[in-house]
Structure 1
Amino acid sequence: MVGIVDNLTGPNAFKPLDIYRAKNGMSVEIHHTDAEGRLVLADMMCLAIDELSPKKILTIATLT
């Protein structure tokens, strides 16, 4: 699995204090809008666990 994000602006962009609901149901309050990679990484790990039931997960990322 590969999770890729693009850092864009627009009407659907995250704003400080927005609430994001993660794939596992957890609510995350956005404080730093340039941290979208962490959210994608967390959702990708949840998706991998739900869909593939892996014994191990390896992540490689460059996060700010």
Structure 2
Amino acid sequence: MFGLFSSNPVKKLNKRYHVLLREAMEAQRSGDIRLYSELSEKADFTLKEIEKAKEGTPEK
């Protein structure tokens, strides 16, 4: 019952992952390859965090 109002860390990480991917795409389109690679690396790290969080979260 009290878990109703708790935040889901996977949703938060998933949103951050998609934002990073979008920013990386925009950086690549504008020609800033260095920024693109930095953002892509952050997105990969976030994806690994999502996978770890999913392993620790019981299925509903």
TM-score using structure 1 length: 0.36
Q: Which has the higher contact order (CA 8 A, sep 6+)?
A: 2
Higher Cα Rg: structure 1 or 2?
2
Bigger proportion of residues as helix: 2
Bigger proportion of residues as strand: 1
TM-score using structure 2 length: 0.37
